[in-house]
């Protein structure tokens, strides 16, 4: 039954991609210099958004309604802890001493006292999280972000972040070390559904706040990444006021 | 592929969740507008508001959840007096603002305000156990425009939340917020490209119509 619904969703999505790729030929009304591939990006964005609406969001909503919040928090903590491992490497590569130290302390504390990461003891001890990845490491050492890019399924990215993600970042995922295929994919599926459930509220806010969801998310993503590269203090690109 | 997906979703998730949490905090911080001393510093103002509003919110939460109208009224009366909304709107609209008639400018402000107030009101009821710390300010006393940097601390990554304030001329007018950023994402800039798009395609009246349409849709959902 579930697989039937899923294949239906896939069919609908495939149709949508076809339609939106046709529309991609339409010209863009307000070109943005950071987004030369806007018409293609918009098509992929629409595909992602539709897939999310018909599949990911309903699944995540059911998951949220069926599980107790302490359990979801535990799952979130567990995967955050795995992510922190990769943050150690990248914070170190960026020569961010405190962030590296905090990340190491977090993984050590949470993996042991925090029962394999399910309890975020480190946050209770005020050891802050500093997530990082290889795209940010490249940015830190001066590589420009390049054009904005929307990836199928994955969403907002840039040329730099995509290169970092496909060549380096995904190999830094500790889940790769899980040998049993079924276990590995089970963990991945759990993570994705759990992650989606954590931003159901945020998604509703964006839906209500945006005039054009595509531009809204693009702007937020680009500003956010730039801010991360410059450690919270990016130089002004242009005057903030007209 | 799925590995990448998972990692990517993780990034996006963090980002959105933090944005969300910080929006709440932004609401909280802008909150209270009691009479304040003329010589209050900008970071002093933000600090006082943060403490006041967080406390009010936590104490009053039971009354406020489930009644959007009440929350909208609360945001309207408490937040807006501390915001230079005309400046916020005009810089979001960009160069087209000067070509707009006074009537269009008024409509733009009204619709944009409804949009933002409702967005924040929707988020307000979710404030939980976060606290705020104010970072040291780098400004000289004669500055008319300053940046106040704060950090929201709760579970997980600390969330950057910053305000740009201007000193309003006149006695007793004090500091007013004219832009804010959550995790480095500035509110005004985020709307600027969307607004420019509408204006280019459909003119100023088109933008007003889109805003009003958005507000109507949001109103129905509530």
- The 10s digit of each residue's pLDDT in B160-190 is 888 899 988 765 568 888 988 888 888 898 8
The residues near A205 (Cβ < 8 Å, ≥ 6 apart) are B19, B20, B23, B119, B122, B123
Per the CB < 8 Å rule, is A209 touching B115? yes
Residue A154 in tokens? 């994955």
**Helix, coil or strand: residue A148:** strand
Is B67's pLDDT higher than 90? no
For an interface test with B, the pick among A131, A139, A209, A238 (most B C-beta atoms closer than 10 Å) comes out as A209
Measured between CA atoms, the residue of chain B closest to residue A231 is: B184
B131's enclosing H/E stretch is: strand B131-134
Q: What is the pLDDT of residue A124?
A: 82
Residue A32 in tokens? 């943005």
In this predicted model, what pLDDT tens digit does every residue of A6-41 receive, in sequence order? 455 555 555 555 555 545 445 566 778 888 989 999
Q: What is the pLDDT of residue A203?
A: 81
**Cα(A219)–Cα(A211) distance, rounded to whole angstroms?**
13
Among partner residues B6, B15, B197, which is closest to A224 by beta-carbon distance? B15
Looking at the complex, does the CB of residue B25 fall below 8 Å from at least one CB of chain A?
no
The model carries a pTM of: 0.76
Alpha carbon A61 to chain centroid, angstroms: 18
Classify residue A4 by burial, with Cβ atoms within 10 Å: 0-12, 13-18, 19+: exposed
Measured between CA atoms, the residue of chain B closest to residue A175 is: B3
Asked whether the beta carbons of A188 and B45 are under 8 A apart, the reply is no
Tell me the CA distances in angstroms from A114 to A30, A78, A86, A188, one per residue in order: 50, 9, 18, 21
Looking at the complex, does the CB of residue B184 fall below 8 Å from at least one CB of chain A?
yes
For an interface test with A, the pick among B9, B18, B159, B189 (most A C-beta atoms closer than 10 Å) comes out as B9
Looking at the complex, does the CB of residue B136 fall below 8 Å from at least one CB of chain A?
no
In this predicted model, what pLDDT tens digit does every residue of A182-196 receive, in sequence order? 888 888 888 889 888
DSSP, residue by residue, A99-143: HHHHHHHHHHHHHHTTTTTTS-HHHHTT-------HHHHHHHTT-
- Provide the greatest CA pair distance for chain A: 57
Among partner residues A120, A123, A205, which is closest to B123 by beta-carbon distance? A205
In this predicted model, what pLDDT tens digit does every residue of A146-201 receive, in sequence order? 899 999 888 899 998 898 888 887 777 788 778 888 888 888 888 889 888 888 87
> Which own/partner pairs from B34-41 qualify as long-range (CB within 8 Å, at least 24 positions apart)?
B36/B174, B38/B171, B38/B172, B38/B174, B40/B174, B40/B175, B41/B137
Asked whether the beta carbons of A150 and A123 are under 8 A apart, the reply is no
């Amino acid at each position: 039954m579930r697989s039937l619904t899923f294949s239906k969703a896939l069919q609908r999505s495939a149709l949508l991609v076809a339609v939106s790729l046709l529309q991609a030929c339409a010209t863009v009304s307000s070109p943005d210099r950071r987004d030369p591939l806007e018409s293609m990006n918009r098509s992929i964005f629409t595909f992602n958004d539709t897939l999310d609406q018909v599949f990911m969001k309903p699944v995540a909503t059911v998951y949220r309604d069926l599980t107790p919040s302490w359990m979801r928090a535990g799952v979130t903590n567990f995967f955050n802890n795995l992510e922190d491992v990769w943050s150690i490497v990248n914070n170190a590569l960026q020569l961010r001493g405190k962030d590296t130290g905090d990340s190491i302390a977090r993984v050590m504390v949470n993996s042991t006292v925090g029962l394999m990461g399910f309890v975020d003891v480190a946050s209770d001890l005020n050891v802050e999280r500093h997530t990082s990845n290889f795209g940010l490491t490249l940015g830190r050492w001066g590589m420009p972000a390049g054009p904005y890019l929307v990836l199928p399924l994955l969403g907002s990215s840039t040329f730099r972040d995509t290169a970092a993600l496909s060549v380096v970042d995904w190999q830094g995922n500790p889940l790769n070390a899980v040998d049993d295929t079924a276990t590995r994919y089970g963990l991945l599926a759990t993570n994705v559904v759990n992650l989606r459930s954590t931003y159901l509220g945020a998604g509703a806010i964006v839906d209500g706040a945006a005039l054009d969801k595509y531009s809204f998310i693009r702007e937020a993503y680009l500003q956010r990444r730039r801010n991360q590269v410059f450690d919270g203090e990016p130089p002004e690109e242009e005057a903030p006021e007209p | 592929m799925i590995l990448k997906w998972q990692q990517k979703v993780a990034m996006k998730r963090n980002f959105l969740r933090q944005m969300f949490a910080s929006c709440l905090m932004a609401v909280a911080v802008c909150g209270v507008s009691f009479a304040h001393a003329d010589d209050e510093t900008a970071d002093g103002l933000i600090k006082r508001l943060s403490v006041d509003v967080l406390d009010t919110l936590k104490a009053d939460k039971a009354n406020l959840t489930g009644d959007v109208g009440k929350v909208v009224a609360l945001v309207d009366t408490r937040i807006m007096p501390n915001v230079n909304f005309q400046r916020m709107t005009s810089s979001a609209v960009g160069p087209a603002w000067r070509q707009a008639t006074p009537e269009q400018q008024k409509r733009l402000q009204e619709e944009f305000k409804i949009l933002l107030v409702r967005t924040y009101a929707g988020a307000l009821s979710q404030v939980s156990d976060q606290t705020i710390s104010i970072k040291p300010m780098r400004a000289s006393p004669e500055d008319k425009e300053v940046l106040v940097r704060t950090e929201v601390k709760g579970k997980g990554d600390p969330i950057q939340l910053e305000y740009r304030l201007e000193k309003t001329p006149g006695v007793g007018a004090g500091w007013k917020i004219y832009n804010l950023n959550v995790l480095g994402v500035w509110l005004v800039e985020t709307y600027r490209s969307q607004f420019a798009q509408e204006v280019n395609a459909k003119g100023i009246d088109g933008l007003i119509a889109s805003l009003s349409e958005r507000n109507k849709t949001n109103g129905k959902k509530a």
